[in-house]
Amino acid sequence: MRESRVARLATASRSGQPLVVPICYVYDGECFYSAIDRKPKRVPLEQLKRVRHIRDNPHVCLIIDEYDEDWSQLRYAIVQARAEILWEGDERQRAIALLRQKYPQYQKMDLTGCPVIKIVPRKITHWSMSDPQWMTV
């Protein structure tokens, strides 16, 4: 879970309309963090659907998986969680520092004012046909 490069974050609106987006993330052993960076967006950051969904309905799901044409190598983790948006503070700064360590692209990117999604796991389910211990937390 620490080394995977991308995950999928599922959110839902107050009425239950789902949204799934790919995210870059970091896991510190307790929580997952993902920055909402300044890559081109159609709306301001605070109006993104994932931000509105988390504000209205903090229940989220994170999927971390690895696909291989050799299906005996397939594996995944499903993280049922609660999320919140960090707009400022020490925890947000620490999360950005961790993201910059994992992703060189973030080292060059201005993340000033960018929110961070904090994902607090409630339940983690994982499966692997070939390596039952693949999910290191």
CATH number at residue 24: 2.30.110.10
Average pLDDT over residues 95-110: 94
DSSP strands (E only) in the chain:
7-12, 18-23, 26-27, 32-35, 59-66, 75-86, 116-128
Question: Cβ distance 96 to 6 under 8 Å?
Answer: no
| 116, 2, 102, 49 alpha-carbon torsion, rounded to 10° | -30
Q: Is residue 68 part of a domain?
A: yes
Q: Is residue 57 part of a domain?
A: yes
pLDDT digits (tens, 9 = 90+) for 32-61: 999 998 766 676 677 788 999 999 999 999
- Would you say residue 72 has pLDDT above 60? yes
pTM of the model: 0.89
